């Protein structure tokens, strides 16, 4: 029994170690930044449902490729790879479901405008974007953080979810597109830069043999 507990604790430490290379930070940073461009396209008059779907698919493919190829060709070449237990394998499958849901939710947010949702939910003013962000983004990402055991994701979930509220607050002050850039583009860029910093530090710490 003690040996089994030690093995689980070791697996948990190794699992958390996978987040030290910064690739997951780059992944979520790019996802957040994508919403800035998404709303900019919508404001340009090109934002019909088909265009939104194409953009989300194309944009979200980029962080997925960076994450998967980075893990395979940069990280595994340095520290090797680990085959986790069934519980961790199920976690990876849930991540795929989340990525699909991310595209679907993005389209829903474009089709169901805050005006429509305000009538459905009987909400007014800033409560509408606050509800959208917390329920459709912060909550799912927080649940994902539990599955992934990824602590920084809780912070990213709050930042991402409050982006809709920040756009409402900033619009009277800076207008469009700066409200979208500040609310989504800037936080996403900061998170991505953090990821690249962690990645460079990781690669220096574990040079390729």
Is residue 91 within 8 Å of 148, Cβ to Cβ?
A: yes
Give the pTM.
Answer: 0.80
Is residue 169 within 8 Å of 41, Cβ to Cβ?
A: no
* Phi, psi values for residue 147, rounded to 5°: -60, -40
pLDDT at res. 3: 47
Please give the average per-residue pLDDT across 42-62, as a whole number: 76
Confidence of residue 40 (pLDDT cuts 50, 70, 90): confident
Return the number of other C-beta atoms located less than 10 Å from residue 99's C-beta: 15
Instruction: Please list, in sequence order, all residues whose beta carbon lies within 8 angstroms of the beta carbon of residue 111, skipping any fewer than 6 positions away.
Output: 49
- Where are the domains positioned within the chain? 21-73+88-205
65-115 per-position pLDDT tens digit: 999 899 888 888 877 665 655 665 666 666 667 666 665 665 565 555 555
């Amino acid at each position: 029994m003690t040996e089994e507990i030690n093995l689980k604790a070791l697996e948990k430490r190794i699992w958390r170690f996978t987040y030290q290379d910064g690739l997951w930070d780059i992944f979520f940073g790019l996802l957040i930044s994508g919403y800035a461009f998404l709303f900019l396209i919508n404001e340009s008059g090109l934002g019909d449902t088909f265009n939104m779907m194409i953009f989300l698919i194309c944009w979200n493919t980029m962080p997925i490729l960076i994450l998967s190829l980075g893990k395979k060709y940069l990280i595994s070449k340095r520290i090797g790879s680990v085959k986790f237990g069934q519980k961790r394998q199920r976690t990876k499958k849930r991540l795929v479901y989340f990525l699909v849901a991310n595209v679907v939710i993005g389209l829903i947010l474009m089709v169901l405008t805050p005006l429509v949702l305000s009538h459905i939910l009987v909400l007014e003013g800033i409560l509408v974007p606050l509800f959208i962000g917390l329920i459709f983004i912060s909550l799912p990402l927080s649940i994902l953080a539990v599955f992934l055991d990824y602590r920084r994701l809780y912070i990213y979930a709050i930042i991402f979810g409050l982006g809709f509220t920040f756009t409402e607050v900033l619009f009277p002050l800076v207008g469009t597109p700066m409200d979208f850039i500040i609310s989504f583009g800037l936080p996403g860029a900061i998170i991505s830069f953090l990821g690249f910093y962690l990645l460079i530090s990781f690669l220096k710490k574990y040079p390729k043999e």
